[in-house]
Structure 1
Amino acid sequence: MARKNKKNSKINQRIRKYFDDDPFDVGIERVESKTLSELFATLGIYDIEHNKTLMVKTLRMIWSEAESSMRQDILNFFESDGRVYKSDRPKKELVFDREDKINALLEELDVSQEEAVRLREAYLHVRSKKITIEKMESSLRHIRFEMKKEKLERELEGLFDLDDCFEFNASLKYELYEQHFHKILTLKTKPYSYEYLETTDFDAIVQKIGQDKVATVQQKQESIDSFLASLKYPHAYLSTKEILDALRASPPKSKVSYPLISQKLLKKIVKSKIDAEGVELHEEEVLIHVNEQLSLPYSEQKISYKLELHVELEGLLEEIWNAKRFNFDAILAEVKKEHEDEFLLTLDALVKECEEYAQLLHFSQEELHARVYGYLFELLGQSLNITPKMHRKITRRFLHSIHDELIKKQREALLARTIRDFKNLFPIARSMQRKLILHIGPTNSGKTYEAMQHLKEADTGYYLAPLRLLALEGYETLKAEGIESSLITGEEQILDDEATHISSTIEMMNYEVDVDVCVIDEVQMIDDRDRGWAWANAIIGAPAKEVIMTGSPNVKEAIVALAEYLGEELEIREFERKNPLELLEKPTHPKEVEAGTAIIAFSRKDVLRLKQNFSKDFEVSVVYGNLSPEVRREEARRFREGETQILVATDAIAMGMNLPIKTVLFSKAEKFDGIIQRNLFPSEVQQIAGRAGRYGLHENGYVGALHGDALHVVRKNFNKPAKEIKVPFKVMANLEHIKLVSTILEENSLEEILRFFIKNMVFDGPFYAASLDDMLEASRIVDSYDLDIATKYHLACAPLTLKSAYIISTYERYINALEKKEPVYYHAPKLTGSYAQTSEELLRAEDMVKEISLYLWLSYRFNDYFVDENKARAYRGVLNKYIEETLRQTQLNQSCKLCGTVLPVNSKYSICQKCFKKNYVHKRGHRRLPR
């Protein structure tokens, strides 16, 4: 403790000269704030608020409580600064009384003149009342001790350091590589105690320290000789000249025991061992700068940074001088791991905090990290240190960036709560005491007939059909009974102001018109991938006292579940087929086909091919989906009235077409369902087969196939129970729902609204959002135009054939005119001849009819702009007649796939002679003609 007090006393005395002889606590007040900040940085204290009052207070506390090493560091700082912080206060008034008291006390002490001067200096700035004889006696002992040490230093030619070791210069001899030279080195003896120096006789101390100096020099010389003798030749790292230069240039006084090497040479040696960008030599360490890379979590990015290796200079010099095979790999790996682990830990904390802020947005880890990295890279530079200030700045920027998304997500949550219980989106239906009635049975069982009879007897009613053709038939049936009716389809509306009944396609149902009875036909379509939502919406929302649904038996359990969800009464009536249906035992050869047969195919191409084949022996009607309803109806009429004997059709006849078919023959038993090519399901086989043997026309119906493999699939599925339709059902937003979403989300992109409905909506009932692929594709087109959300919705619901470039081009022309608020005219195309000669010409005519359907559909919604409704309707009749005449032809020719020229009848090749010569005949020979 005495030794510690002694050191502190020395430092206290030495620092006073920088404060105009004031003590530290007084003088520190006069130091500028900037200098105080530099002092804290030198002391390694960075977390201090740079307020002068606080800094002064903290330094006073450090000075009073710190070890002597900390006081020494403070003293070193002011010694390097060199400035004296003088006081502005007047001192003369204070000195007079103080000097009188000092002089009076000095007279009581036995002191020399020099001792008196030093005592007077020691107490010159001490307040008078604090000056006592006891304090002066204590100070006198200390002064005499210091004077004794000063005399010893003069006598022995050296200095006492802070530890009271005696430091002196000595000449040491170096003999190496036949060279001899002396070098002055600063050496120090072992420390001497305060008691020894104070109490021991002066001459004895001189003799003792003199002996210690000789012993220290001798010991150092032996150490040098031993070191020089240990040097190997040739040296692993140093040349002879470099060794000699290092020994000669090494400073007299150093904190390391091995000779120093020049910074240039040290850099060269270090860089031979590690790929370093820079090497810095310091008093006790070597600082090595290395470029490194770190792979970032949840990203393919890497971050480059500078890594600092702090290598102990003493150890490095030992490795070099002793020619050891050192390397930095282990140090680098350890420091790199420690540095990166610390960075990743702080990064993880930063990302987790951002993740908490963005919980509602459900970011993936990849997206979350990518967003944080975007802000981190701007601030990080080449360091790998996320400071608290950087952390706060990044989180603030992150929060600002997600603000709008959070608001939108909160609105989405509000919207989800608003429309989660889907049945409540149909308020009129919910306000009525509805009764649900389900008619189930196979085809030809009279289930739809019974429902229609009930509809005719009602005061008001709605018939919802799956097809425009069936809606038209329903309308005509009602009109034939003398019932005032209206027809509403996507492209045609026949409105009667006195109408009590409406026949409509199911998508066109008006949920605002309440009726007594609503008939929903072909209710098993609720399971359809693309249109099933229309049946679900209609069953839930039909505003009718009685809702009669007709469908196949496999829909029963699904409707029961739906009725339970709605909490409404359900009556189930089961129907049996009215005439038997027989399965043929063997395939029917085309030559054995009889009149009254329907041949079923599953593509337009196959229908036209079969029509061509059977036209050799029969008059043939054709029905397929690409034909307009008018043409399909005309083809069905021709078959019904006996103008044709054979019907070649796709499964379009499976839905409600009443035809005098005796036998149904499958040409194939597989179809492409829009995703894959697959065998027919039992429900499809039974629905199509059921069209054979209409009650009242044929006693029995027969089902078979043209080929054995098709008959095998038909036989396997003919009596097999159809797959039960299960919940959940697809549902879709109507215009009012779309407007609600648009308002709450403040979103005008129809695609975004639809995607929200599809992906984010969770319903309380047995529902999920329909996929609406076609509508989404249409929404991408309409979103590129400046239109309101209602207009976009109507346009996206329009009947489109997305695979037809002709239709899409027309569609975009119509939208462009709507955006500009210009009238849209119908331009009638020119036809060559009274019928198509090729399949391609027929397809083009079919697309022209679809163009008219699109025009008429839009004219009912935008009648101010689509001004050629009558012209389009008239020309539809022309095109339908053209197509009908084409279908009456025995066969269609092929056209050249390169130039479009009509090929000869029964041509075996797919290109014309001209194209063959142009593209396939060469000077050196011929290529095989493509078939």
Structure 2
Amino acid sequence: MSKKNKKNSKINQKIRTYFDDAPFDVGIERVSSETLSELFSALGIYDVSHNKKLLIKTIRMIWSDAHSGMKEDILNFFENNAQIYKADSKEIPNYDRDQKIELLLQELDTTKEEDAALYEAFESIRSKKITIAKLESKLAHIRFEKKREELQKELEGIFDIDDSLEFNASLHYKLYDQEFHKILTLNTKPYEYAYLQESDLNDIVQKIGDDKLSITKVKQESIDKFIASLKNPHSYLSQKEILDALRSTPPKTALSYPLIPKKTIACIVSEKIDMSQIDIHEQELLLVVEEKLTLPYSELQLAYNLELHIELNGLLEDIWNSNRFNFDSLKEESKKEYENEFLTALNSLVNECSKYATLLHLSDEVLHNKVYEFLLDLMPHSLNITPKISKKVIRRFIHSISELLIKKQRQELLARTIRDFKNLFPLAREMRRKLVLHIGPTNSGKTYQAMKKLESADTGYYLAPLRLLALEGYEGLKSKDIESSLITGEEQIIDDNATHISSTIEMLNFEVDVDVCVIDEVQMIDDRDRGWAWANAIIGAPAKEIIMTGSTNSKEAIIALAEYLGEELEIIEFERKNSLSLLETPTDVKDVEEGTAVIAFSRKDVLRLKQNFSKSFKVSVVYGNLSPEVRREEARRFRSGETKILIATDAIAMGMNLPIKTILFSKAEKFDGISQRNLLPSEVHQISGRAGRFGLKEEGFVGALNSDTLKIVKKNFYKEAKTITIPFKVMANLEHIRLVGNILEERSLEAILAFFVKNMEFNGPFYASSLDDMLEASKIVDHYDLDIATKYHLACAPLTLKSPYIIESYERYIHSLEKEEPVRYIAPSIVGDHARTADELLRAEDMVKEISLYLWLSYRFGEYFIDEAKARQYRGVLNKYIEETLHIAQLAQMCKMCSAPLPLNSKYAICQSCFKKNYTHGRGKRKTR
């Protein structure tokens, strides 16, 4: 605080001692006029009137000037004249309220009525705060109010707050041959306060009276002019409606035009706009229109009430003046503004919700629709997102995603747990494994040498790509007097004393450790659908020595895998044992020799070629849809010379040792499950390698039945196969599935598999297999109340998803498992000892697949699948039925209408009977019924 301020503060405190501790402005009123005059003389001020009121006002102004040095002079005056001021104080002692008012009234010229009014006005005021100035001010106000009352009585009106006079005037209406008077409330111009206070009463009455007459005259003229301007007939109003409106107009209104009844306005407005509600207020018309808004990222529509606020005076002007009007632009403008406000508020709300769902990575569509779940219930027929509604929505949104957030956190924990895939195979990681890679072309002896090493080991595992090869491996081990077991998906021959196991690769038991494990056809690690089984086996097979056999293009991939595992890798390269030559010209069908295998890439093409070549040769047939037993029998017939040529798909490309001299491609393209494409070099090499097998034929030849096919084969025959590259596909086994299910608290197998496929990131060169077929199967099994292990085994079952026959059986088996009931094998009926048509053959093939499915499940749920022996017996019957069918030179076509066999080489797709029955004679037009 400055020194000057401190000094002024001290002066303010000291002066209070002379005013009974009252501040200067209050205390100075107690000083008598004589003392005040002496104070001004002491201060050297002589030109002030000795009116006490003026003296007090002046001295207050002087005191309030903090920069004036007179404050100290005023204080000195009271200090030096304390005795004089005390005499003044005795003039006005500390009276109570009524006593003080009575004392002050002695200085005023008042009537008894005014005294009573002053006493009433100050009855709640503290005595110290009552001053002569306040009484004088109040007295002036009382006297003015009395004068106003007298004026209002004389003028027959009431003064408004702005000091204009409000009065009633009788106005004349004449229209449509009718006359009537109506009282309206009018106002004069405002009159100044001073004029009303100081002017003579009679003068004011005369002046305002003249103003009333003038204003009434102007109003009457405006009414006459308005009536004259009305059209006849009127565009909106009938004569009756006009008269009723003029008669019913309220006396006092802020509107410039006569008010029309609500019902009449509603009728007029409803012709211009569809509305659900109308309300008339003092200055505006409120219309409620029903509208719909399509919500962002959704097809949902939110119905809401749009309020249109229309200036009532403007609308009345348009109606009375018969102006044309519409509300389209107003509606569109209001609609746009209202919806934009909503969308802005919605965007803020969604953004706020998204902050709580960051971990879930919800799409805009999912996020918005989740908000709508809670928002729409809180906003019936409205777009107004209030702060209260926002808080409710956010609270409910957070509650709704809480479980998802917990699940997401579990997923992240799970991802960290199994990110290093190799550690999911603890037994293999505990062993000091050695990896050996045998690579080379077909017929190079790489698998032969691997099997020799397996046979010499104390314990061993042979992992085959096919059930047929697993069976051959098992029989090879048994032929060397090695006690062995066979484990495939649908067949298990268990020897309790077995030291070796021959198995399909998917059936590898990661809990059985051995000395040597042979993994055959390791290039299959690149297969789109099954590659995961080879990757899992290489990573997790619990063997001291892992011997992998495969084509040369797998070398770099296996090296990368060994580096990831940190395990020793030995690579042994093999050369083909005999020559394989490419025929430079196409081979005509009539020039095909015995010992030839003709390759096609569909069951339909194989059966067509069989029919063609059966005219000249006994033919064996091999394709993927045949059971392993039938394929093996067909191979035996060719190997023994019972048949002279072989018609096959690329099913022979893997591990089938046959006395094939020449491979002839009928086509050089195949459908790979996604698209029709030309053969890859690796496929040409693998299939071609079946020709000229060492020990069976000294030399092999490769060719084609036509020049276009030969061109593609030739191009790929000399071309190196594409190098297999990382990453590899991997898949969860049952233990992994259980781990995922437990952490996520999830019972849906489809959800677990989808999580594994989409969310797993690995430190090594892997990515999760797509598992399309298994996911499709999981959709079926999830409909049943089964534990996760049962669901997993069922989803791994060998299914042909495109076969309604297989799927129907599959669902029947699952239903029985759910009910814990025995699952019977129901043998289907077949007619004759062979199929007559290709469709009957396909049905028989599906029947064998059903048996394979039944047997596969019987090894996992033996207590329920109790007809294993019956299924095996009937598989033999069906295999014989299929084999007899394949011995037939030609299969008949079937009528597309009645399924009856058609004559051989029929040009038509329907039989003669159906043609006669469904088509009119002579015109070849189908009958109408």
Normalised TM-score (structure 2): 0.83
Structure 1 position 817, deviation (Å)? 2.6
Quote the Cα distance in structure 2 between the aligned partners of 1:545 and 1:750.
34
Task: Give, as a single letter, the amino acid of the residue that structure 2 aligns with 1:818.
Answer: L
1:166 is aligned to: 165
Q: Aligned ranges for residues 138-537 of structure 1 at < 5 Å?
A: 138-173=137-172, 182-221=181-220, 223-224=222-223, 227=226, 236-238=235-237, 242-537=241-536
Which residue matches 2:598?
599
Distance 2:307 2:911 in 1: 78
1:352 is matched by which residue type in structure 2? N
- Corresponding residue SS for 2:726: coil
Q: What letter corresponds to residue 278 of structure 2 in structure 1? A: V
Q: What per-residue deviation string (whole Å, max 9, x for no partner) do you get for residues 854-908 of structure 1?
A: 2222222122222333343344334434433443344444555555555566666
For residue 570 of structure 1, give the secondary structure of its aligned residue in structure 2.
strand
The answer to whether the Cα contact below 8 Å between 2:919 and 2:926 also exists between their aligned partners in 1 is: no
Residue 689 of structure 2: aligned partner: 690
- 1:231/1:816 Cα in 2 relative to 1: closer, same or farther (>3 Å)? closer
Instruction: Quickly say closer, same or farther: Cα 1:141–1:889, change in 2 above 3 A.
Output: closer
Q: CA deviation at 1:807?
A: 2.7
Partner SS for 1:843: helix
Equivalent residue number for residue 613 of structure 1:
612
Provide closer, same or farther for how the CA distance between residues 627 and 314 of structure 1 changes in structure 2, counting only shifts above 3 A.
Answer: closer
Q: Quote the offset at 1:110 in angstroms.
A: 3.6
1:824: Cα distance to partner? 3.0
SS at match of 1:576: coil
3-state SS of 1:755 partner: helix
Partner in structure 1 of residue 563 of structure 2: 564
State the shift of 1:928 in Å. 10
Is the Cα contact below 8 Å between 1:681 and 1:722 reproduced in 2?
Answer: yes
Q: 2:378 is paired with a residue of what secondary structure?
A: helix
Which amino acid is 2:473 matched to?
Answer: G
Q: Is residue 2:661 matched to residue 1:666? A: no
CA distance in 2, matches of 1:502, 1:159: 117
Determine if contact 1:437/1:548 at 8 Å carries over to the other structure: yes
**Residue 807 (str. 1) matches residue 806 (str. 2):** yes
Which moves more between the two structures, 632-641 or 342-351?
A: 632-641
Tell me if the contact between 1:235 and 1:323 (Cα under 8 Å) persists in the aligned partners.
Answer: yes
8 Å Cα contact 2:620-2:645 kept in structure 1:
yes
What residue in structure 1 maps to residue 757 of structure 2?
758
Give the direction of change, closer, same or farther, for the CA distance of 1:614–1:315 in structure 2 (3 Å limit): closer
Contact 2:490/2:857 (<8 A) preserved: yes
Give 1:226 deviation, angstroms: 5.3
Structure 2 counterpart of 1:776 = 775
- 1:194–1:874 distance in 2 versus 1, CA, 3 Å: same
Residue of structure 2 equivalent to 1:57: none
Deviation at 1:174, TM superposition (A): 5.2
User: Is 521-530 or 112-121 further displaced after alignment?
Assistant: 112-121
Does the 8 Å contact 1:602/1:650 carry over to 2?
A: yes
Post-superposition Cα deviations, 1:424-479, rounded to whole Å, max 9, x if no partner, equal: 21122222333333222221122222222332333332211100111112222223
Q: Does 2:845 match 1:853?
A: no
Residue equivalent to 2:742 = 743
Aligned CA distance change for structure 1 residues 116 and 494 (closer, same or farther; 3 Å): same
2:331 match: secondary structure: helix
Q: What code does the residue aligned with 1:449 have? A: Y
Equivalent residues in 2 for 1:6-45, closer than 5 Å: none
- Cα distance, 1:269 vs structure 2: 3.7
Tell me the equivalent position of 1:797.
Answer: 796
Distance 1:371 1:412 in 2: 22
Shift of 1:735: 0.6
* Distance in 1 of aligned mates of 2:864 and 2:786: 14
Q: 1:236 to 1:650 in 2, by over 3 A?
A: same
**Partner SS, residue 191 of structure 1:** coil
Whole-angstrom distance in 2 between the partners of 1:192 and 1:680: 107
Give the Cα separation in 2 of the matches to 1:218 and 1:849.
113
Where do residues 600-749 of structure 1 align in structure 2 (5 Å cutoff)? Answer: 600-749=599-748
CA deviations on 1:243-301 (whole Å, 9 max, x unpaired) are 55544443332222333333333334434443333332222222222222323212233
Give the aligned residue type for 2:372.
Answer: Y
Query: 1:833, 1:189 → 2: CA distance?
Result: 119
Report how far residue 703 of structure 1 moved. 0.7
Offset at residue 228 of structure 1 (A): 5.2
* Mean Cα deviation higher: 466-475 or 709-718: 709-718
- Code of the residue aligned with 1:679 in structure 2: it is N
Equivalent residue for 2:784? 785
Cα distance in 2 between the residues matched to 1:713 and 1:899? 42
Q: In structure 2, give the amino acid aligned to 1:293.
A: K
Residue equivalent to 2:87:
none
State the one-letter code of the partner of 2:846: D
Q: How far apart are residue 910 of structure 1 and its match?
A: 5.3
What's the CA shift for 1:231? 5.2
Moved more, 133-142 or 628-637: 133-142
Contact 1:640 1:660 in 2 (8 A): yes
Q: SS in structure 1 opposite 2:189?
A: strand
Contact in 2 for aligned 1:920/1:926 (Cα 8 Å)? no
Bigger mean CA deviation after superposition, 904-913 or 751-760: 904-913
Structure 2 counterpart of 1:189, which letter? T
SS of the equivalent of 1:437 reads strand
Query: Per-residue deviation at 1:585?
Result: 1.8
Q: Distance in 2 between matches of 1:243 and 1:909?
A: 88
Q: Deviations over 1:564-607 (max 9, x none)?
A: 33333333333222222111122212221111111112222332
Instruction: Give the Å deviation of 1:484.
Output: 2.9
Give the deviation of 1:506 after TM superposition.
0.5
Structure 1 unmatched runs, 5+? 1-96
* Structural mapping, 1:69-84, within 5 Å: none
Q: Is the CA contact 1:186–1:253 (under 8 Å) kept in the aligned structure 2?
A: yes
CA, structure 1 residues 337+759, in 2 after alignment: closer, same or farther (shift >3 Å)?
Answer: same
Partner in structure 2 of residue 865 of structure 1 = 864
What amino acid maps onto 1:723 in structure 2? K
Letter of the 1:870 counterpart: A
The 8 Å contact of residues 158 and 169 in structure 1, kept in 2 or not, is answered as yes
Contact 2:658 2:696 in 1 (8 A): no
Q: Percent identity?
A: 71
| Aligned partner of residue 625 in structure 1, secondary structure | coil
Question: Which moved further from structure 2: 405-414 or 172-181?
Answer: 172-181
Q: For the structure 1 residues 267 and 426, does the alpha-carbon distance in structure 2 shift closer, same or farther, using more than 3 Å as the test?
A: same
Task: Determine the structure 2 residue equivalent to 1:20.
Answer: none
Counterpart residue number, 1:552: 551
Q: State which drifts further: 397-406 or 650-659.
A: 397-406
For 1:760, the aligned partner's letter is N
The verdict on how the C-alpha distance between 1:629 and 1:257 changes in structure 2, with shifts beyond 3 A counting, is: closer
Paired with 1:670 and 1:902, the residues of 2 have a C-alpha distance of: 31
C-alpha root-mean-square deviation of aligned residues, in Å? 3.1
Instruction: Return the alpha-carbon distance in structure 1 between the equivalents of residues 187 and 282 of structure 2.
Output: 19
Residues 920 and 926 of structure 2 are in contact (CA less than 8 Å); yes or no, is this contact kept in structure 1?
no
- CA distance in 2 between counterparts of 1:233 and 1:816 reads 86
Contact 1:436–1:546 under 8 Å retained in 2: yes
C-alpha distance in 2 between matches for 1:293 and 1:910: 56
Q: Secondary structure at the match of 2:501?
A: strand
Conserved 8 A contact 1:465-1:506? yes
